[in-house]
Amino acid sequence: MNAELLKQLTPEQLLVTTAAAQNRLHKVPQHLLTEENLTKPIMNNETCLHFAAQSRQLKCIPPGILCAKNLNLHGEHGFTVLHHAATDGCLNQVPRAELNTFNLTRRDDINGTPLHRRVSTPSRTAT
């Protein structure tokens, strides 16, 4: 992670970011899992939500934060949180109401959608 960006984080954001990057969000106190802490761009415009999707930890995120606005945040290469969830096999951790045509057909910088990424990625056991 970029050291300059890390210096801009509050102690709470740093704790959440470190936990997300190390697959330990389940150990973070719930009161720290806020929209502000989870959606701050950290590296290449990616957020803790992107990290959580990549490591299949979306189940640790309060459901109210897993809304279209946050699930469609663009990170590196235009990948959204949903792109990562689809690639890494954790779409089942996304609220069902958010698995709609609008969200699942958003295009990244290489013209792929979360649906494309899910279909083109080898199957992983869902958790």
Distance from C-alpha of 57 to C-alpha of 90, rounded to nearest angstrom: 8
Segment 40-62 mean pLDDT: 94
What proportion of the chain, given as a percentage, has pLDDT over 90?
A: 72
Contact indicator for 124, 88 with CB cutoff of 8 Å: yes
- Judged against a pLDDT cut of 60, whether residue 20 lies above it is answered with yes
Residue-averaged pLDDT of the chain: 90
Q: Which domains does the chain have, with CATH numbers?
A: 3-120 (1.25.40.20)
* Span 99-124, pLDDT tens digits: 999 999 999 898 889 988 888 776 55
- Judged against a pLDDT cut of 70, whether residue 127 lies above it is answered with no
Distance from C-alpha of 107 to C-alpha of 126, rounded to nearest angstrom: 24
**0.75 exceeded by pTM:** yes
Contact indicator for 102, 68 with CB cutoff of 8 Å: yes
In the 8-state DSSP scheme, what is residue 43? B
- Judged against a pLDDT cut of 70, whether residue 26 lies above it is answered with yes
Looking from the CA of 21 toward its CB, the CA atoms found within 13 Å total 12
Segment 77-95 mean pLDDT: 94
**Residue 44 pLDDT:** 87
